[in-house]
Amino acid sequence: MTITTALPRDFLYGFATAAAQIEGGGAESEKESGRGDSIWDEFCDQPDKIRDGSHVKKTCNHLAMYKEDVAMMKSLGANAYRFSISWPRLIPLGGKDDPVNQKGVDFYNDLIDECLKNGLVPFVTLYHWDLPLELSKRYGGWLDKEKIVEDYRHYAKMCFDLFGDRVKHWLTFNEPWCTAVLGHGVGQFAPGHVSNTEPWIVGHNLLIAHASAAKLYIEKYKSTQGGMIGITLNGDWTEPYDDSPENIEAAQRKMDFALGWFADPIYLGKYPQSMIDILGDRLPEFTKVELALLKDSSEFYGCNTYTTNTIKAKESDDEFAGFTTMGFEKPDGSMIGPPSQLGWLRDVPWGFRKLLNYIHQRYKKPIYMTENGWSIKGESLLSVDDAIRRYHAVRVPNDEGRVKYYQGYTQALKDAVEKDGVDVRSYFGFMDNFEWASGLIPRFGSVYVNYETFERTPKDSARTLMKFFKDNVSR
C-alpha cells in the first residue's frame, strides 16, 4: 500500500560532511594516503588561526572509518549521504598536468560503492573549500580566472569520468560566498586574505568555474550518466526590523549581497543592481560568453541555511552585508530565537520557511536543502565520558536544544512544501566535525564524535531527525 505524505517518495535525507572536516586521522595517516596539502593545511599551521589549535590532518578519521560511518547512517534510517571529494586527495598538486593519486581514487570509489551497497544515495560536492595549496602558490588560486577555471574544469571532468557512472547528484561548489568573503575579504578562513577588492574577483571566478564544469557535465555526460548538477549557496533569511520602507529595502539589499551575488547571475543572468550601485567597477562585468555559459548552468538550487537576522537600514561598516545592520532583536526588545554556541546562530524556524518561499518564487528551481544544523551552547565543555553516558542513559538534556531545532526546521520545511507549494527535494543534517576556524569546539552534529578515539555515538537529535523523514516521506 502506498502511503502519501507531504514529501515525495524520492526525497533525500541523511547526513552532510566535507572532506576537510572529517577525513583526517592524523598527520602520519594523511601523509601515507597521498593527499597533497590544501590551503587549509597551511592555514592550520599558522598560530592562532584555529581557535583550539586543531588541524585538518586530524579530524574524524573518516578515511579509515567510512564503512562504519555509512553503516551507522543506514542504521539511523538515512537514504542519502552528502560528502565532498578532496581535490588534493585526487590530484595532490591540483593542476591539469599534475599526477593523480591512485589511493585517493580508490578511496572515493570504495566510499561510493559502500553507500550504494547500503542503500544511500551519494550526493557529491566537488569543491568544499580545500583548494590544493600548490595552486595557491603557483598563481594565487581563485584570483587567476584563466588558470583556475582550466584546472578546476579538468578536476571536475576527472570526477565525472571516474565516478559519474554511480554518482547522480553533483554540486560544483559549496558556499562560494565563504570562499570569497571569509577567505579573501576578512581573512577568517583560508587563505586568510584581507581585502576589499579580492572577494569580488574571487566570487566572479568561482561563478565562471561553476558554469564551466556544470555545462561540461550537462552537455557531455548527462545524457549517458543520467545525473544532475547544481551549486549550493549559503544565505539566511533577512527579516526587516519593522515595516518601514527603508528597513524593507535594507533587508532586500542584504539578501542581494548574500544569495543574490551568486544566484542572480546563474538564474537571472545578472548581478543584483544594489551590488552594482555600491561596488561600481570593483564588481567585474560578465562578458557575453560568460553570461551564455552561466545560463541554465544549475539544474536546481542548493540551499545551506541556519538562522535568520533582523535587518535595519542604519548604516554599518559591513560592506559584505550591503552596509546594513544585522541583529536578532525585535522592536519590542525580545529576540527572534534562542542563542546557540555561536553568536551568529539563532533558532528561527519561521524564517526558514520564509527563505524557502523566497528562493522558490525568485529563482523557480527545485530546492535541495544541503546543510542545516545547530550548535548547543556549552556542549563542547562536557567531558567525553559524561557526554556519552548522558546520551546513552538519560536522553541528554544537553541535546534538547538540537532536537527542538530540528523539529522546528523540519516542520517549517513540511509546511513550505505542503501549504505553500515549494518544491524541496532533500534535507541533510550533521555529525560532529572540524568546524573550520572554530576548530573542534562547536559541535553541530546529531552524532557525537570522540576526537581522541574517533568513536561515534548517535544523539537523540539524530533519531528525531531520521524519524521525521521516515514518517513524512511517501513510501
Number of domains comprising the chain? 1
Amino acid occupying residue 310: T
Strands 308-312 and 301-304: what pairing? unpaired
- Of the residues 290, 371, 379, 435, only one is catalytic, namely 371
Domain at 102, CATH number? 3.20.20.80
Cell readout for 222 is 548527462
pLDDT for residue 378? 80
Strand pairing category for 447-449 and 456-458:
antiparallel
Catalytic member of 23, 134, 175, 435: 175
> Could you tell me the sign of the dihedral formed by the alpha carbons of 26, 29, 33, 34, in that order?
positive
Report how far residue 200's alpha carbon sits from residue 206's, in angstroms, rounded to the nearest whole number: 10
- Please indicate whether residue 452 is annotated as part of the active site: no
One-letter amino acid identity for 145?
K
Query: Residue 97: which domain range?
Result: 12-472
Q: What residue type is 189 in one-letter code? A: F
pTM (2 d.p.): 0.96
- Which of 116, 107, 117, 115 minimizes the C-alpha distance to 62? 107
Q: Give yes or no for a cis peptide into 92 (omega within 30° of 0).
A: no
pLDDT, averaged per 10 consecutive residues of the chain (475 residues), comes to 72 98 98 98 98 98 98 97 98 98 98 98 98 98 98 99 98 98 98 98 98 98 98 98 98 98 98 98 97 97 98 97 97 95 95 98 98 88 62 57 95 97 96 95 92 92 94 90
Residue 6, pLDDT score: 80
Taking the C-alpha atoms of residue 176 and residue 289, their distance in angstroms, rounded to an integer, is 21
pLDDT for residue 394:
46
What whole-number distance in Å separates Cα of residue 156 and Cα of residue 166? 15
User: Tell me, what amino acid is at 361?
Assistant: Q
Residues with Cβ within 8 Å of residue 219, at least 6 apart in sequence:
none
State the DSSP string of 16-42: E--HHHH--B-HHHHHHHTPPPBHHHH
Q: CA-CA distance, 244 to 132, in Å (whole number)? A: 47
By the 8 A CB rule, do 342 and 302 touch? no
At 400 the pLDDT is 85
Q: Which phi and psi (to 5°) does residue 237 adopt?
A: -65, 140
> Would you say 144 and 202 are in contact if contact means Cβ atoms under 8 Å apart?
no
Residue 337 forms part of a structural domain = yes
371 has catalytic annotation: yes
| pLDDT, position 399 | 82
